[in-house]
Amino acid sequence: MIPEIVAGLVQVLTVLALSPLMVGILKKWEAKFESRKGISIFQPYYDLAKSFKKEIVVPEDAGSLFILAPMLSFTAYLILPWVVPIVFGSPSWFAPLVDFLGGAFLFGFASFFSVIGTEKTGSYYTGIGATRGVTFGAFAEPVLITVFFGVALITGTNNPFLTNETLRNNLSWMLSPTHILLITAFFLLLLFDTGKLPIESHGMGELGMIGQGMGLEYSGPLYALKSWGSYMKQFILFSVFINVFAMPWFIPLQVNALTILYGIALLFVKMLVVIFAIVLVEISVAKIRLFKIIDYLTFSYLTALLAVISFFLVGGVPQ
């Protein structure tokens, strides 16, 4: 039991420590590709430290849920590293209790309270962000469920650790049309869920705000928790994409000092590959109108659905 607990703790600490760094690297690379100097890769750490030192200002009409929402969302993101392969391919202590759908429920739990807490402010701009997040999220959830259903068909399990083991030992399924289509659908969804779709604007122009708009009324430690939670969500989604779908190989299975360092270093390298791909997509595709995001998510869903159909056309799980 002790190695399983250590594995879970290492994964939680890795997500906590490295998620702001990955955001900093992503923004730095975006600036480099656009011929700008950009921020320091450590700027997210500075911003978090500065926010934790500031005073909390609560809108007059906001209730207690406004204060609790960032804490509940942050707690959900702290649970997720226990149940998905991030540093290790061997299950942690809680892993047998949660499958893909359970993980999706935790993501939904965090998003739900973020929206509810935002709505309590009565602000026009945060209302815009929350409404758009809920509307587009309704189109994104079927994509996530279909992708998880498709990979469960391939591997015969809905547990992410067992999925990782099955895919890394079956190269034929990694190269199958079903899996390639699932990777494509999940990558498209990843761009949306992490705010990297070339539609959302992270400036103060309300016409392009989605997730950014939901944090405008927060300040101090609450804003820090909300920002840190969004960093963790992005990091966890990248990890699931890497270790379950796209690059499940070479992940360590044993827990000791050497494999901890190796697993973190390997994750860091794989993460850089994904960040490069996302930055390349983001700077290569021109900004399009906000309402086109529904067409985008529909295309992502149809890709996942085509993957499921191709599974039944190709056949069953290879022995």
Task: Supply φ then ψ for residue 98, to 5 degrees.
Answer: -130, 135
The answer, yes or no, to whether residue 206 has pLDDT greater than 60, is no
> What is the three-class DSSP state of 272?
helix
pLDDT of residue 204: 41
Q: Which amino acid is at 258?
A: L
Encode pLDDT of 77-115 as tens digits.
Answer: 999 998 889 999 887 777 667 777 778 788 888 888 887
pLDDT of residue 205: 46
CA 297 to chain centre: 16
**Position 289 confidence tier, pLDDT thresholds 50, 70, 90:** low
Residue 273 lies in a domain: yes
Residue 216 lies in a domain: yes
* Enclosing domain of residue 251: 2-314
The answer, yes or no, to whether residue 242 has pLDDT greater than 70, is yes
Rg of the chain (C-alpha set)? 19
DSSP output for 41-54: TTHHHHHHHHHHHS
Which residues fall within 8 angstroms of residue 114, CB to CB, at 6 or more apart? 69, 70, 73, 133, 214, 226
pLDDT of residue 1: 58
Stretch 235-262: mean pLDDT: 91
User: Lowest mean pLDDT: which of 11-20, 101-110, 250-259?
Assistant: 101-110
Tokens linked to 76: 């959900």
Which of 302, 281, 136 is closest to 198 using CA atoms? 281
pTM for this entry: 0.88
What is the domain count for the chain? 1
Residue 146 lies in a domain: yes
Which residues fall within 8 angstroms of residue 312, CB to CB, at 6 or more apart? none
Return the percentage of the chain with pLDDT > 90, whole number.
Answer: 31
| Residue-wise burial string across 144-172, b where 16 or more C-beta atoms lie within 10 A, e elsewhere | bebbbbbbbbbbeebbbbbbbbbbbebee
Residue 319 lies in a domain: no
CA distance 176 to 311: 9
Tokens 């869903």 appear where? 301
Output the average pLDDT for the chain.
83
CA 135 to chain centre: 19
User: How many other CB atoms are there within 10 angstroms of residue 273's CB atom?
Assistant: 12
CA distance 235 to 194: 9
pLDDT of residue 216: 72
**Position 208 confidence tier, pLDDT thresholds 50, 70, 90:** low
Residue 141 lies in a domain: yes
DSSP class of residue 165 equals: H
Residue 111 lies in a domain: yes
Which residues fall within 8 angstroms of residue 193, CB to CB, at 6 or more apart? 140, 233, 237
